[in-house]
Chain A
Amino acid sequence: MDTRYIRNFSIVAHIDHGKSTLADRMLEITGTITSREAQDQMLDDMDLERERGITIKASAVTMNYEYEGHNYMLNLIDTPGHVDFHYEVSRALAACEGALLVVDATQGVQAQTVANAYLAVESGAELMGVINKVDLPSAQPDVVGEEIEHVLGVKKGECFHISAKTGKGVKEVLDAICAFLPEPKDLSNEKTQALIFDSHFDEYRGVICYVRVFSGKLKLKQKVRLMGTGRTYLITEIGKFCPKMKPTGELGTGEVGYLISNIKTLGDVTVGDTITDDAEPAQKALEKYTPPLQMVFSDFYPDTNTDYPKLRGAFDKLALNDASFSFVPQNSPALGFGFRCGFLGLLHMEIIQERLERENDIGVVQTAPSVSYEVVTHDGKVTKIDSPSQLPDRTHIEELREPFVRLEIITGTDSIGNVMKLAEERRCKLVKTDYLGPTRVIMEYKAPLAEIVYDFYDLLKSISHGYGTMDYEFMGFEKSNLVKIDILINGNPVDALSLIVHRDNAEQRGRKLIIKLRRAIPRHQFEIPLQVAIGGKIIARETIKAFRKDVTAKLYGGDVTRKMKVLKKQKEGKKRMKSIGNVQIPQKAFMSILDTSD
């Protein structure tokens, strides 16, 4: 097809700003689907996504649209809207020449809008402003337009005012896509270069690669080579998403579609890799983009040890469809056999956890999420660790580095004070403050990831009356004054409770933790000291008092049935606990490090 009539674009937006609704409307207007067959929000094909209003996996769809007498091929590449899925957004954007930036007219610019817009600009995509939900009574399209112009540099006057729900203005957007967004470069005579921007695993057909052809073309039965791995495959099916997969026999320059070959597992495909012809390969690969960074780690243990194989099976299945998720076996003396899992971020972790329980019916015990650290030893070697237990002896450590992120918070001006207080408590450094308008402000921080991974977002929501939004982007590892705090229960260090924290917070965090443990561990017949230690030095102590009495005063004939039940229960309670030394610790105690509240 003539590349002049091809447009590849993405829609980027904050959650719930109407991206999926807009996509649905476009599919309808272009006749790609009829409104009758339009399942609401066609592009979100996982239940979980629809339920949470979040698009997790990028999807692509090809639409045909007539504009000024020409038949255009519009390829919409959907992107996730959440903070954790930067990587997925970036790979979708790399396949596009343009992006629609959708902002809710009642909500205004949000942190994710900004983050995604930056990504689009970085990838070289042309931005088009779209203000959605203008039909709502509380819509303020002018104010929002000013925000867009101020923060994102898209002129207020160039923004489209639409209602994706009613369809108002959507046709104008489609026209503008044809009229204003750049066309793909015509490199059809060059050697073949196609970008894999996503992949998914289909139980019946194996790995399905989502591709964008930049030069040359791809066709059925062609022998292709993945330039990154050097492996060769034969294309057994090639086609477009309309929105269902429709074989077309080939994909030309500028086109977007899928290909199926004999690739067995997702692990064999690196998203970002370049496909070329095996016989006439391109000189070099397309520029790769940043691979996904796993930022958050957490241990998952099955509720009951016998569920371990079941849990492994479930993780295998999840990893097949999610290249950003990883897991390795882990054995904790306290919690038994489980897995250490890596995630892009907290939402990603939550989604995996939910899917695990929903699709597999497995109860899991999950440890506190942590981040990875870089350890520089005296010999100059840099190692990455993702668990305090991997930390080498402190005499070998030259320095410890922790991950920092650029954190952007958008909130109302009335909660600036609260946000600053929270940020300060979490060791965040203010980089700049910018007013979006008279009542809203965007604050940029340099923040240690460890401080924001767990409950920061919830706290932000609560101190900003629900209006605050945030996004973050990984900046790099930096030297930090970190210490490992060990928790000793009755004199025995318990590895599952160790934490890596900043020295300034060590005492406070440790103290809070042992107070929580004191509440979570039942009293024993002896006093149990709980201690916080840094490098062998005790910095805080709590004591679980011994229980003094535990005996039923009367037990006669009529009391036996009831009492036996109570005693059995007491025994069950003992059983569910893990023995460390001679102290019985219930599983919930291990979870108490999750909870940083007072």
Chain B
Amino acid sequence: MKRIKKVQAGNTATPFRSGVNSMCRTSQNSSGLYAHIPFCKSKCAYCNFYSEPVSLHDTNRLVQALLKELSQADTRLVRTIYIGGGSPSCLPLSELEELVKAIRSKCPNFVEFTIECNPGQVNPEMLELLYNLGVNRISIGAQSFDDNELKCLGRIHNSKAIETAMYQARQVGFKNISLDLIFAICGSTLQKWQESLDHAIALNPEHISAYSLTIEPETPLGKAIEEGKFSAIDESTDRAMYEQTIDVLTKAGYEHYEISNFAKPGYECQHNIGYWQNRPYIGIGPAAASSTGTCRMQNFSDIKTYVNAIESGQSCVEESILISDIERICETAVLNLRTIYGIDIEEFKQFTGQNPCLLFEEPIRIHCEQGLLNIENNRIFLTAKALPIADYVLCDFASL
């Protein structure tokens, strides 16, 4: 137990200071670590992420490969850790334990350690283990509280399972829980979405990610829609649901801090904030991406290719792309603007050496005129009106 106390530092740390300024908390030198578990018990109908049925694979061999990749990574600056997938919760407990332990010892200075959990797969034993190993944040893939919607998405869980998972996580001591929700699911209505939101709020998670359903053509859902088995939600309803989300969650005390993310003050996801600040990150596992700021690398997606490369001592990087100064500047602008805080002009100057107001003078002027951007308190940020059409604005920052 002594050991556990020690690693619980992350849990007991004072929550991050509230509000927009929390964006600036992560130091410029920090980085994040992302570990990708490419397995799922079964593939969800809407998902186009890389994952394979867990039953077909030797999970241990993959975990060993991950550990080997990790051992070679320079993790000295890692402050945030995120294990995602796929479904990390479909790994056997012992393997999960080995992975978490290895990451923890490789990244002793972490402040946030998140693991994604499928509500259909968690149990008290797993949660307790994770908690005791120092994981201080779990992200539950709830998606919806409407069982018909869950079925449409091809999820293996029902709404009851979400409540159970939430309850169990609290029981073992988790103080930072995030729920992932999806709106604009086929057949949904503003009323149903309201119910899902109410249900989520009632469970009192610290953090909520609410994503509009993206229908990817190559997924079973995409095909079902093409075949007319389901019909996609129209754009106006989608937008209304988005606006409803912002309205309902803000009223319930959640701060809207990124296009699709909401948190109680101080509980913003630090790992993801790192992405939006264009900080470096290390990705391990199949299909994982890493960025040093000047170079972005993508690992082999195919599990076998990845594992073989690692085992034979070769590089598991499938593609690496050099990022020019201009590209880095543009990426930073686009990513910053996804946050409600926006671009911090001073910080942007420090980070890129360029004044965003001069560099992006024209798009800033045009979009300010149209009421889509605002400059205030040394920040450039999207207005409420711009959020539902953010890409229309952001694309003008995508190149110079």
Contacts and interface: CB of A to CB of B under 8 A. Distances in A.
Given A560-B296, A564-B331, A553 B236 contact: no
Contacts of A571: 395-396, 398-399
Q: Count chain B CB atoms within 10 A of each CB in A549, A550, A560, A564 and give the residue with the most.
A: A549
B334 interface: yes
Interface in A531-558: 547-558
A552 B296 contact: no
Contacts of B281: 557
A575 to B, nearest CB: 10
Nearest to A524: B392
Interface in B252-305: 259-260, 272, 275-276, 281, 283, 287-291, 296, 298
A557 B271 CA distance: 10
Interface in B375-400: 387-392, 394-399
Contacts of B331: 560, 564
B135 to A, nearest CB: 19
B388 A549 contact: yes
Contacts of B260: 553-554
A550 B272 CA distance: 21
Nearest to B296: A561
B175 interface: no
Residue among B238, B288, B330, B388 with the most chain A CB within 10 A? B388
Nearest to A565: B398
Contacts of A189: none
Given A549-B239, A558-B289, A560-B335, 18 more contacts: A525-B372, A525-B392, A547-B235, A550-B388, A550-B391, A550-B392, A551-B259, A553-B214, A553-B259, A554-B211, A556-B275, A557-B32, A557-B281, A557-B283, A557-B290, A564-B398, A568-B395, A571-B395
Contact of A557 (B34, B372, B390, B394): B34
A279 interface: no
B212 interface: yes
A312 B32 CA distance: 58
B13 interface: no
A557 B395 contact: no
Contacts of A551: 212, 259, 387-391
Contact of B394 (A548, A561, A567): A567
A569 to B, nearest CB: 8
B390 A550 contact: yes
Interface string B306-336: 0000000000000001000001001100110
B265 to A, nearest CB: 22
Contacts of A574: 395-396
Contacts of A558: 34, 283, 287-289, 298
A557 B275 contact: yes
Interface string A567-598: 11011001000000010000000000000000
A98 B287 CA distance: 81
13 contacts: A549-B242, A550-B392, A551-B389, A553-B211, A554-B211, A557-B275, A557-B283, A557-B290, A564-B331, A567-B391, A570-B391, A571-B396, A574-B396
Interface residues of A, number: 23
A570 B398 contact: yes
B212 A556 contact: no
Contacts of A550: 388-392
B260 to A, nearest CB: 5
Contacts of A563: 334
A553 B288 CA distance: 19
Interface in A383-420: none
B235 A564 contact: no
A558 B236 CA distance: 29
Question: What 5 pairs between A and B have smallest CB-CB spacing?
Answer: A567-B398, A570-B395, A553-B211, A558-B289, A567-B395
Contacts of A564: 327, 330-331, 334, 398
Nearest to B390: A551
Interface string A255-266: 000000000000
A555 B338 contact: yes
B82 to A, nearest CB: 9
A525 B283 contact: no
A282 B363 CA distance: 73
A557 B278 CA distance: 8
B370 interface: yes
B389 A525 contact: yes
Nearest to B385: A525
Contacts of A561: 289, 296, 298, 321
Nearest to B338: A555
Contacts of A556: 272, 275
B212 A525 contact: no
B199 to A, nearest CB: 20
Interface of A: 525, 547-558, 560-561, 563-564, 567-568, 570-571, 574, 582
Contacts of A560: 275, 289, 291, 296, 331, 335
Interface in B235-249: 235-236, 238-239, 242
Contacts of B287: 558
A563 B334 CA distance: 10
A570 B388 CA distance: 16
A19 B92 CA distance: 85
A558 B398 CA distance: 17
Contacts of B398: 564, 567-568, 570-571
Nearest to A525: B389
B392 to A, nearest CB: 5
Contacts of B283: 557-558
Contact of A549 (B238, B276, B335): B238
Nearest to B276: A555
Interface string B168-212: 000000000000000000000000000000000000000000011
B225 to A, nearest CB: 17
Interface string B87-122: 000000000000000000000000000000000000
A564 B331 CA distance: 7
B365 to A, nearest CB: 13
Contacts of A570: 391-392, 395, 398
Nearest to B32: A557
A568 B338 CA distance: 16
A561 B318 CA distance: 14
Contacts of A549: 212, 235, 238-239, 242, 388-389
A321 B212 CA distance: 62
B334 A567 contact: yes
Nearest to B392: A550
A552 B289 CA distance: 19
A555 B275 CA distance: 8
B259, B387, B392: residue with the most chain A Cβ atoms closer than 10 Å: B392
Given A547-B389, A550-B390, A568 B214 contact: no
A549 B397 CA distance: 18
Contacts of A552: 214, 259, 390-391
A553 B391 CA distance: 10
B22 to A, nearest CB: 18
Contacts of A555: 259, 275-276, 335, 338
A555 B394 CA distance: 12
A549 B232 CA distance: 14
A481 B395 CA distance: 49
Nearest to B212: A553
Contacts of B272: 556
B291 A568 contact: no
Nearest to B234: A548
A543 B321 CA distance: 44
A556 B335 CA distance: 9
Contacts of B396: 571, 574
Contact of B291 (A553, A557, A582): A557
Contacts of B335: 555, 560
A563 B397 CA distance: 12
B389 A568 contact: no
Contacts of B275: 555-557, 560
B148 to A, nearest CB: 21
A552 B331 CA distance: 15
